[in-house]
Structure 1
């Protein structure tokens, strides 16, 4: 057992390591930028005209640009980003490349059986497609296709995945296999795991190195990328005019790939998603300690909570732990919380110590926070703006988009190029599938649901029966999780 003194020492170490740099950058992004040659960002300073302008230089925007150039290299494509490419969600997520296989039941209900099957298969294929792309284009993103392990960490969570796995079995698309408990605990690195399912169709990646690699490849293909070039305004008339700080862009077609930042400029999406933090912590390199508890490869591990714990090791022997569902933004505003060390370090520390008691004295080298744009379904949505059918958008990845943005790029490039194919006509292209209540009802409700989930799961961890009211409130968040639960 860890003493109170040890807990205090570890927390003090965490605070020191994350607060001593006033120029804060999320860990992955800071690491990636330090490995790039020093150069000044390409900032737009003169008016320009282009066939396609993509607003947002993260995964979705860059995959879209690459797909367009691969199919029609003669088109002029411009990407603009308010900061550096990848400084948003793409460069600060947990780096867990998961799939939609565990969301099959939700997709079947929304899009029909055949489309749900196709999207499950496409999301699994995306993992291997991204691996091949990195190999072909010499992107060292520390990508390790070692699969994923979904675990239960208390008795109440056991059996929760049975319905979705049974449905996948019926269609012979089930990549999951149940492991014996001793192997689950060994590969999860935690004796807390009491049930586990493994799928080889998953990976871990250094997310910022991936997005910076995509930027480099896009530029080699002829995409013009402007960084530190925020969109100040957009005129949806013809030609579409995007106003930046120093110049205007006149574009035939526009792609809005802003994700959590979409609501800043387009209030019509404010009720389509809810912005919630996912908070992460990472240790210094401790490869020997990780090997001793069984964490010896790049496998991602996810538990069965609604606001999940997720963790994975890095190539240099660090352990990253993340937890979703902490800070809910009022009116979906991007606050300073998303650009500073996590204010939920104590929650991360408690989870870390509970999962890995032998590492309880291990301090965190860094903590950070990411903004997750959760839709009502837990799935992204794509479409065209009502004001102009040549302006396309995609958002709502709900904290599960590292691999899925590959699909987003296929969808948005197909829409831009006017193609009638499986991507432009898939179920995801019909816009939002639901809306949250207006403020302040949305935020008050989110707080009530979050706190009910915390109480419910704390009771379950102690093998106690949760309050009935907490169980009912928790059901409102089930659809937003990484997996459909019974």
Structure 2
């Protein structure tokens, strides 16, 4: 596909690439009523990690997953594939959850990266996982020093995995002279997200998890057991896990003010390994700048370059619209960013662009809990664009809640439901548009080395705390 925003309903690049390896895949659809100990609604990272963790601990349980499309066709198969941690969020987590829980969450998020790598090795999942770390950078003078406070706090707690690189090394290893400051952490990397989620599905099935695709939940009847109705059959389950992420809002209106849906838009080149090597992009490091609506990029093993940018499309009333299944409507924005970062590649056309729905919470962190209407139904959502590794944590939390365990995961501070809420419509959408546009003006002025209007600075503060390092 070329730089053409008119193309309709595409499979995101990673997911399409992964499904080519399953050319004979025939989805198993639920066609008869069944009973289960646990029914998980949603076949993405969160649902699959939860199912796997439950079966590893209690293999005798009958665990069922139902997925409205194909496993991974949602956010799990269309993100940027950057494995990052929560370490850059330490100061905000400390304010929300306290010092000890902030330390725990930083350590857990770093542990998740290594656990994900080990899991893929043990189960022979070829997800193109490269734990080559991440570079968190500044691309203009206004961004410089943004890491100082959080790194000082991390060092104080002796949990700082970051090291500052001199500018020349940053520019060399990031493949761009736009970076003027950079910090490196080895607890990160990149992965082909479509291959990862399909690999998790395969492992889950080998463990005995029953996976039904193209089986959407049409209704849920509370009770004991819970009954989930699908187009052709029902599932009666003792416990239910809702792992729908951004799609949660379609059937559970109580969460409509808990998150804001926002697109993250991505573009990828054809393979150009020689050019990338000449630029210095020789491994799988994830590079993220420190603006509010971040740029993030990484290379692929076959020599492509993927660039993404968050904070673009905010649908009215948090509706999952057709825009999330089409080529990005922000191709000019992606093109400008790409050409600025990589001027030597200006003549390289995008092979594909796509967009994904990110469920951004008020804190920028996910939240978990039990439905007020039914305590045998648990949920988790709100990863805020930073869930590739963190969904492993989600799986630990949700499996602990399902199995009624008293451990570090069930006692985790994230098991507290949503923290705060966004305004009602249309105030929410109008406010979001004002903040988004103020951020764009602010960052454009900063990139040009110009002063920023006071009003734009004030509006940008509403998004700053939760948005940094989300990718």
TM-score (norm 2): 0.99
Pick aligned residue for 1:198 from 179, 184, 209? 184
The residue number in structure 2 matching 1:176 is: 162
Please state if 1:334 is matched with 2:320: yes
The residue number in structure 2 matching 1:77 is: 63
Which runs of 5 or more residues in structure 1 are unaligned? 1-11
Please state if 1:253 is matched with 2:239: yes
CA contact (8 A) 2:29 2:215 kept: yes
Q: Any idea what SS the aligned residue of 1:397 has?
A: coil
The residue number in structure 2 matching 1:209 is: 195
Please state if 1:268 is matched with 2:257: no
Q: Any idea what SS the aligned residue of 1:173 has?
A: coil
Pick aligned residue for 2:147 from 131, 156, 161? 161
Shift of 1:483: 3.8
Q: Any idea what SS the aligned residue of 2:265 has?
A: strand
Q: Quick one: distance in 2 between partners of 1:275 and 1:156?
A: 28
Q: Quick one: distance in 1 between partners of 2:25 and 2:120?
A: 23
CA displacement 1:90-147 (0-9 Å, x = unmatched): 0000000000000101111111111110110110011111011001001000000000
Q: Quick one: distance in 2 between partners of 1:279 and 1:403?
A: 20
CA contact (8 A) 1:151 1:193 kept: yes
Shift of 1:196: 0.2
Q: Quick one: distance in 1 between partners of 2:33 and 2:203?
A: 25
CA contact (8 A) 2:9 2:322 kept: no
The residue number in structure 2 matching 1:9 is: none
Please state if 1:392 is matched with 2:378: yes
Q: Quick one: distance in 1 between partners of 2:47 and 2:468?
A: 23
Q: Any idea what SS the aligned residue of 1:191 has?
A: coil
CA contact (8 A) 2:264 2:308 kept: yes
Q: Any idea what SS the aligned residue of 2:418 has?
A: coil
The residue number in structure 1 matching 2:3 is: 14
Please state if 1:407 is matched with 2:373: no
CA contact (8 A) 2:9 2:326 kept: no
Shift of 1:347: 0.2
Instruction: Describe how 1:13-412 pairs up with structure 2 within 5 A.
Output: 13-15=2-4, 24-412=10-398
Q: Quick one: distance in 2 between partners of 1:275 and 1:128?
A: 29
Shift of 1:36: 1.3
CA displacement 1:171-227 (0-9 Å, x = unmatched): 110000000000010111111101000000001000010000000000000000000
Which runs of 5 or more residues in structure 2 are unaligned? none
Shift of 1:479: 2.2
Q: Quick one: distance in 1 between partners of 2:171 and 2:108?
A: 30
CA contact (8 A) 2:2 2:352 kept: no
CA contact (8 A) 1:376 1:479 kept: no
The residue number in structure 2 matching 1:461 is: 447
Q: Quick one: distance in 2 between partners of 1:218 and 1:444?
A: 43
CA contact (8 A) 2:292 2:439 kept: yes
CA contact (8 A) 2:9 2:327 kept: no
Q: Quick one: distance in 2 between partners of 1:300 and 1:78?
A: 34
Q: Quick one: distance in 1 between partners of 2:217 and 2:466?
A: 30
TM-score (norm 1): 0.96
CA displacement 1:229-269 (0-9 Å, x = unmatched): 00000011222010001001100000000000000000000
RMSD: 1.1
Q: Quick one: distance in 1 between partners of 2:236 and 2:74?
A: 25
Shift of 1:40: 1.4
Q: Quick one: distance in 1 between partners of 2:444 and 2:349?
A: 24
Q: Any idea what SS the aligned residue of 2:437 has?
A: helix
Q: Quick one: distance in 2 between partners of 1:483 and 1:433?
A: 19
CA contact (8 A) 2:49 2:391 kept: yes
The residue number in structure 2 matching 1:445 is: 431
Query: Structure 1: which 4+ aligned runs deviate by more than 6 Å?
Result: none
Shift of 1:23: 5.5
Q: Quick one: distance in 2 between partners of 1:460 and 1:293?
A: 26
Q: Any idea what SS the aligned residue of 2:182 has?
A: strand
CA displacement 1:384-407 (0-9 Å, x = unmatched): 000000000000000000000000
Q: Quick one: distance in 2 between partners of 1:291 and 1:14?
A: 24
CA contact (8 A) 2:283 2:299 kept: yes
Q: Quick one: distance in 2 between partners of 1:399 and 1:98?
A: 10
Distance 1:184 1:50, change over 3 A: same
CA displacement 1:402-433 (0-9 Å, x = unmatched): 00000000000000000000000110000001
- Number of residues paired by the alignment? 470
